[in-house]
Structure 1
Amino acid sequence: MDLVVLVPICSIIALLFAVYFSRKVLKMSEGTEKIKEIASSIRVGAKAYLIRQYKGVAIFFAGMFVVLFILSRLDYVSVFVPYAFLTGGFFSGLSGFLGMKIATSANSRTTWACTKSLNSGLRAAFSSGAVMGLVVVGFGLLDLSIWYYILDWYYRALPEAERIVYITSSMLTFGMGASSMALFARVGGGIFTKAADVGADLVGKVEKGIPEDDPRNPAVIADNVGDNVGDVAGLGADLYESYVGSIISSCALAVAAGLGMKGVVIPMLVAAIGVIASVLGTFFVRTGEKASQKMLLRALRKGVYFAAIVIMIAAYFLVVNVLGQEHVGIYFAILSGLIAGIGIGFFAEYFTSSQYKPTRQLAESAQTGSATVIISGISIGMLSTSVPVIIVGISVIASYLLAGGADNFNMGLYGIAISAVGMLSTLGITLATDAYGPVADNAGGIAEMAELESVVRERTDALDSLGNTTAATGKGFAIGSAALTALAFIAAYKDSIELLVKQRGLDFTFDLSIINPQVLIGLFVGGMATFVFAAFAMSSVSKAAGKIVVEVRRQFNEIPGLMEGKAKPDYAACVDICTKASQKELVKIALLGVVSPLAVGLLLGPNGVAGLLAGATTTGFILAVMMANSGGAWDNGKKYIEEGNLGGKGSDAHKAAVVGDTVGDPFKDTAGPAINILIKLMAMVSIVFGMFILTWSIL
């Protein structure tokens, strides 16, 4: 039996279970008419945003398609490249859209479920998250397997080694399409959600002293819409890109490693096993009806750990049967990535959860004002970078050596790449535990606006707090896998350039010495690009949030009886402002990822591009960890105070913590997560445009 057939079969299984969980959610009661009305407003706003975003994205993709089509006619890229680019973007966007669709249906049902028990609310929100997780892995594997079969058939007459090169080079382009879509979705959604969140908090909490999600706040619906377009649709597109990127980079390195077609299919088969393990793991997420928050967290971890154990066992038999006992080291490389992902997730939780010392110390610093909160949060983020760097460093060395890097350099690189696949193999369930968080956050807002009993809000807040913990873990997986995948892409870039030089008889030899001026300049430019990218994203949030602050203040000043709750605010105005502002700022941010490697390549040649990728990967990885963990600590520090500690809600410490949280919002939900996408997009652009750069570079 051809084992590759398991890949599309497992993708269909994932999509069928996504349908099952969708139907499960939709059968639940939405509750009162007031709850339905609020949920409907959120759905309409989220849908309107995505439609506008996809129109802008369509223009970008049309332009890129034309460019790639012209390059294919000029024989700079494969004839399949323009179409692979489109399908990658389509499936990435579709994953995010479907995740958002079920999330905006599950929020009201989670609210109503929380009137019964905390565990009932978890089941509603987690079922929604399971749809997101399974849709991402299902479509990711479906897209991979479709292209694999098409390309394998088209190039069937070529020798295996040459056939693999054409297959993997074309598949890299659909990874570029997925990255481009993810960048728009993650950054655009991040700008929307954080502009609304920051604007709502600064005027509502700090200036007016009203509770979070108070229906009197004109930005409250925009805030809840933002949870869906940023933390669900954006998250889905982002992790789809990470997932397929890690698999494609491994496939691309199989040729140089000497593993042939067997080495190409192993990453896809490991991912297929991960799908089945994730589906099984979802059924282990259950507790009693009177579950505490600690028990709920244990239930979520039970599902993730079960899936990880299944993969650990099954991957061994897969590697030994496909590659033979002599390549069992590949299995241990997969294991290394899986363990590293769990380790990064744990330490992300340590630095961001209020259960641990760092975040509690940050909350205590709020007693002396906003400045000390911000200083404390930045220092926690900076300190938190040490552990993931050490873990990734150990994982890289271990994967390299275990795969046989001491004897065969290229085999070691393949080991590093496939360790990223191991890290993301549980994505179906880890994404489910992450994506349920925004649903719980929405449920809390609906409970507040619908004026339900205080116990309902307490339960939704418990789920939301739990969601922040699992989100930190999810970001850890995404950032760690991005570092490993980006390293693999750098190796794939070098291999692809050397292959092009050999095929076309060109005169070029890599000189990647650190003292080569081309490499050194590239390193600086790559490191700088991640900071410029983060600056663009942060600045965009600041501009959009400023407009929301002005609008919310205007409504409080001009609408009689709004503060007293006798008049209804104009929610749609804030949604419209966020939508327009987020789309306006996207173009320059997206172009940075595409233009940087092309500009460096044309000016400094392939050596400069290699330096650029190395600089972007190292700096971007550390910056992303710092921003994600600083933001998480600020957020949970604020929630720790809101739970009644250090003076509780309304205290000076709480107001200072809210200011810290508003700074942290664009850190952890806009700029930080998107840096992962940037470094991989730059690598894939470099590979796809390799021939063009070789031909036209000045140096």
Structure 2
Amino acid sequence: MIQITTQTIQIVAILISLLSLGVAAWLYSWVKSQPSSNARIAEIGGYIRQGANTFLRREYLILARFTAIAAVLILIFLPHPIWSGNITQNIWMAVSYIFGTVLSALAGKIGIQIATIANIKSAEAAQKGVKPAFMTGFRGGAVMGMAVVGTSLLGVTLVLLIVGDASAVLGFSFGASSLALFAKAGGGIFTKTADISADLVGKVELGLEEDDPRNPAVIADNVGDNVGDVAGMGADLFDSNVASMAAALVMATALGGPDSKNVAMVFAYAAIGLLSSVIGVATARIGKNGDPGKALNSSTYVTTAIFAVLTALSTYIFNFEWRIWGATAIGLIVGTIIGLTSDYFTNDAKPPVRAVANASKSGPAFTILSGFSYGLLSALPSLIGIAVTALISYYICEPLGSGYGMFGISMSALGMLSIVGMIISNDAYGPIVDNARGLAEMGGFGEKVIAIADELDSAGNTVKAVTKGFSISAAGLTVISLLGAFMSEVNTAASELGVQGIANFDIMNPTVFFGLIVGVAIPAVFSAMLMLGVDKNAQRMVAEIHRQWDTIPGLKEGKENAKPDYDKCIDIATTGSLKELIPAGLVAIFSTILVGFIGGASAIGGFLTGNITSGLLLALLMSNAGGLWDNSKKYVEAGNCGGKGSTAHKAAVVGDTVGDPFKDTAGPSINTQITVVSLVSSLLASLFLMYSIF
């Protein structure tokens, strides 16, 4: 056995973070060095890059104002009102919050930069075969995976080392979560506005191909893939990873102080998870005519196995507690199983997707009914997985002493998110090859190259569904552990104020029940606001596509000098999404504050419980149903159930347009929403104790 200090492990975590950032830089230069010579693709790729960067700049300017206002409020009120506490703590909390927002924004920016290069390189590489195109797309995604997790681990470690207070880590996590909430919502509204408009008008009305350059919305659709699925998801998983570490660190500190072995264990396991992802990315390979889906999954399994072995080894060498390792391992295993269940419901080689495609032959009503039903069914395995993980983790660690049961749950969440570097790499691969497929078609590369790009895109769609299910489930465990962090913060504040703390939340208590009922409703309201934003925005874009199609001479015929006004569609998507992104987020945050000041800390316990349970159900339903409808459409387009132009195809496209805001706007935004309200609750715990009506 080796005795090692917490500070030593934190320094090692910083070094592994820097290694990860170095690997990201090398992968970035490798992708950039790949050959590209097609002038048409370079031109279209330039439109996509310009549109994505313009949207991100305008979005970040709006979010910078929100951040400034929130930072001032944090400085005045947190962790204690400035007139009653230590001003230094308030300053550090505000600085940590700003630091979290900056790194979360950086995660999105890095994703945009690499994705808008990798899509061009991957499209050109598809001319040489599956292998070079896959490696370019995957390594492009891996830049984001390595950079996001490297910066999140680096940020958390630096905050705790410099400030020495786990509450400041909650402030850092709130910064990451609040920006991720708005970035995911805004990017999701943008991407689905363009996707729905391009599909409904282009495919259903005009009978155009997927990425026909005559369609005015086609470039906005490609921009949307980047701002929603790359920048938004990067910020989302940055937030989930930080939140899981924050919850574990708050409870670890409450159990033994900032230099305890529990804190050392959190950093050791997080660092090993990142190192495992670095190794997994470095060893990712595919044969000359290999299966992209199998290659992505095998990389994930390799990373999982490496993490399990290295954490067991570190537990033995540093004499960590084996029960806590067991909780971490359970989270890791169940995370993999949840990914497999998402794959079953969204993979076009499995029965549910094919059943929905067959139902589409009878019209869109049957597409919607069957897809929604399978979406509901798909939530059960994941919810059982989360529940069983929480239950087993709690009881494994409970014998270690008071508070260790909830700490065990937080470590199982950390275990589930341990391979998040690989998960982000796989997730970012999806929109990169989706764009590559569109570029291959618009560049006139021919059917053979488009077929290769389609194969890569199909694997990307399935993997995106798996990673969304994984991230939602991981967020579920994380927010359960954040509920434990909330109780720790309440009890710490209660002891300082000399009032009674909280042992549990009794739903027969009227204030707890009040909070529970309100909490159940918020994810539904939040989702409705986002999807109505997509609906209103898409209607404006559909009208614009019709206007251009009817008024630009030669556009219908595809004449060389007749070019659609792509910028107008990009502007509609940008303006509408930025208008809609703030209200939904503010509803979630202000409802939490309102419930806290009405019913106090007990009501917030009920509110968080209701928010978590209904949020997870809705998120899993929408994510999996959306992925299922998307791949049902692709299954029909591959020549099944009548193929392109058939009744089944038109119905499947309608199903896909319904599923778009499900899987790419509301679904993945809900897990960020439940994280944000959990963090707001923990940060305001002392205020809810001091000031409430009931």
TM-score category (smaller protein): over 0.9
* 1:49-448 matches, cutoff 5 A: 49-72=55-78, 73-75=82-84, 78-152=90-164, 167-258=165-256, 261-291=260-290, 295-324=291-320, 327-403=321-397, 405-406=398-399, 408-448=401-441
In the alignment, structure 1 residue 587 sits paired with structure 2 residue 586: no
Q: Deviations over 1:240-280 (max 9, x none)?
A: 00011111101111134447622123122211111111111
Residue 9 of structure 2 corresponds to which residue in structure 1? 3
Compute the displacement of 1:475 (Å): 0.9
The aligned runs of 1:1-40 (5 Å cut-off) are 2-40=8-46
Structure 1 equivalent of residue 594 of structure 2: 599
**Counterpart AA for 2:46:** S
Using the TM superposition, give the Cα deviation of residue 185 of structure 1 relative to its aligned residue in structure 2, in angstroms.
Answer: 1.0
Please report the TM-score for the alignment, with normalisation by the length of structure 1.
0.95
**CA displacement, residues 588-632 of structure 1 (integer Å, 9 cap, x when unaligned):** 112123212110011111111110000000110111000000000
Query: Tell me, which stretches of 5 or more residues in structure 2 are unaligned?
Result: none
Q: Residue 652 of structure 1 corresponds to which residue in structure 2? A: 647
C-alpha RMSD of the superposition: 1.3
- SS at the partner of 2:219? helix
Measured in 2, the distance between the counterparts of 1:440 and 1:602 equals 48
Deviations 1:557-603 (A, max 9, x none): 11111111111100000000000000001111121232121100111
> Separation in 1 of the partners of 2:148 and 2:200?
35
Which amino acid is 1:379 matched to?
Answer: S
C-alpha contact (below 8 Å) 1:78/1:170 kept by paired residues: no
- What does residue 526 of structure 2 align with? 533
The question of whether the paired residues in 1 share the 8 Å contact of 2:122 and 2:436 is answered with: yes
Say which of 458, 463, 475 aligns to 1:465. Answer: 458
Conserved in 2, the CA contact under 8 Å of 1:246 and 1:417? yes
User: How far is the alpha carbon of 1:421 from its aligned partner?
Assistant: 0.8
Q: Distance in 2 between matches of 1:237 and 1:508?
A: 34
Q: How many Å separate the matches in 2 of 1:474 and 1:432?
A: 10
CA shift, 1:692, in A, is 1.9
In structure 2, how many angstroms separate the alpha carbons of the residues matched to 1:228 and 1:614? 33
Report the Cα distance in structure 1 between the residues aligned to 2:296 and 2:17, rounded to whole angstroms. Answer: 23
Q: Given that residues 333 and 398 in structure 1 are in contact (C-alpha distance below 8 angstroms), is that contact kept between their aligned partners in structure 2?
A: yes
Q: Secondary structure at the match of 1:290?
A: coil
Asked if 1 retains the 8 angstrom alpha-carbon contact of 2:74 and 2:90, the reply is no
Counterpart Cα distance in 2 of 1:616 and 1:417: 18
Contact 2:75 2:90 in 1 (8 A): no
Question: Could you tell me how far apart the structure 2 residues matched to 1:569 and 1:31 are?
Answer: 24
Residues 31 and 109, structure 1, Cα contact 8 Å, conserved in 2: no
| 2:626 paired with 1:614 | no
2: distance between equivalents of 1:630 and 1:315?
Answer: 35
Q: Does the Cα contact within 8 Å between 1:65 and 1:82 map onto a contact in 2?
A: yes
Report deviation, 1:75. Answer: 4.2
1-10 vs 568-577, which moves further? 1-10
Distance 1:542 1:506 in 2: 49
**Is the Cα–Cα contact under 8 Å of residues 251 and 265 in structure 1 kept in the other structure?**
no
Shift of 1:287: 2.1
Q: 1:124/1:98 Cα in 2 relative to 1: closer, same or farther (>3 Å)?
A: same
Helix, strand or coil at the partner of 2:260: helix
Distance in 2, Cα, partners of 1:565 & 1:11 = 50
Q: Deviations over 1:367-425 (max 9, x none)?
A: 0001110011110110111101111122112211222x156341111111011111111
Q: Which residue of 2 aligns with 1:661?
A: 656
1: CA distance between counterparts of 2:388 and 2:509?
A: 28
Asked if the contact 2:323–2:396 (Cα under 8 Å) also holds between the matched residues in 1, the reply is yes
**Paired residue type of 2:97:** F
SS at match of 1:114: helix
- C-alpha displacement of 1:323: 4.7
CA distance in 1, matches of 2:148, 2:296: 19
Could you tell me whether the CA contact under 8 Å between 2:507 and 2:513 is conserved in 1?
Answer: yes
Could you tell me how far apart the structure 1 residues matched to 2:222 and 2:84 are? Answer: 48
The one-letter code of the counterpart of 1:81 is M
Question: Could you tell me which amino acid in structure 2 is paired with residue 314 of structure 1?
Answer: L
Q: Is the 8 A contact 1:284 1:302 kept in 2?
A: no
Contact 1:182-1:677 within 8 A present in 2 as well: yes
Report if aligned partners of 2:495, 2:501 keep a CA contact under 8 Å in 1. no
Q: Which amino acid aligns with 2:521?
A: M
Q: Does 1:518 align with 2:518?
A: no
Which deviates more, 9-18 or 426-435? 426-435
CA distance in structure 1 between the partners assigned to 2:377 and 2:286 by the alignment: 36
Distance 2:558 2:342 in 1: 41
Instruction: Output one character per residue of 1:127-150: Cα deviation in whole Å (capped at 9) or x when no partner.
Output: 100001001111001101111210
Identity percentage over the alignment? 42
1:573 to 561, 568, 587: 568
Instruction: After TM superposition, give the deviation of residue 60 of structure 1 in Å.
Output: 0.4
1:111–1:446: 8 Å Cα contact kept in structure 2? yes
Deviations 1:166-186 (A, max 9, x none): x11111011001001101111
Counterparts of 1:491 and 1:136 in 2: how far apart (Å)? 26
Distance 1:200 1:586 in 2: 22
Q: Contact (CA 8 Å) 1:7, 1:142: kept in 2 or not?
A: yes
From the superposition, tell whether residues 634 and 506 of structure 1 become closer, same or farther in structure 2 (CA, over 3 Å): same
- Asked if structure 2 preserves the Cα contact closer than 8 Å seen for 1:341 and 1:476, the reply is no
Distance 2:671 2:159 in 1: 25
SS at match of 2:58: helix
* Counterpart amino acid of residue 462 in structure 2: T
Provide the residue aligned with 1:159 in structure 2: none
* Residue of structure 1 equivalent to 2:468: 475
Question: Structure 1: which 4+ aligned runs deviate by more than 4 Å?
Answer: 507-511
Query: Quick one: which amino acid aligns to residue 148 of structure 2?
Result: V
For 1:623, give the aligned amino acid.
L
2: CA distance, partners of 1:298 / 1:511:
45
Alignment correspondent of 2:478:
485
Distance in 2, matches of 1:49 and 1:179, equals: 20
Question: Is 1:46 paired with 2:52?
Answer: yes
Alpha-carbon distance between aligned partners in 2 of 1:74 and 1:96, rounded to the nearest angstrom:
37
SS of 1:514's equivalent in the other structure is coil
Aligned length: 679
Deviation at 1:507, TM superposition (A): 5.5
1:161 alignment counterpart: none
What's the CA shift string for 1:488-533, capped at 9, x where partnerless?
Answer: 1111111111111111223565662111111111111111001000
Following superposition, the deviation at residue 78 of structure 1 comes to 3.6
Q: Aligned partners of 1:330, 1:323: CA distance in 2, in Å?
A: 12
Contact 2:129 2:288 in 1 (8 A): yes
| 1:11-35 deviation digits (Å, cap 9, x = unpaired) | 0000000000000000011231111
Farther-moved stretch of structure 1 (452-461 vs 662-671): 452-461
Q: Could you say if the C-alpha distance between residues 78 and 265 of structure 1 is closer, same or farther in structure 2, counting changes exceeding 3 Å? A: farther
Match 2:691 to one of 686, 689, 696: 696
What is the distance in 2 between the residues matched to 1:66 and 1:322? 42
What amino acid does structure 2 have at the position aligned with 1:568? K
Which stretch has the larger CA shift, 63-72 or 296-305? 296-305
TM-score, length-scaled by structure 2: 0.96
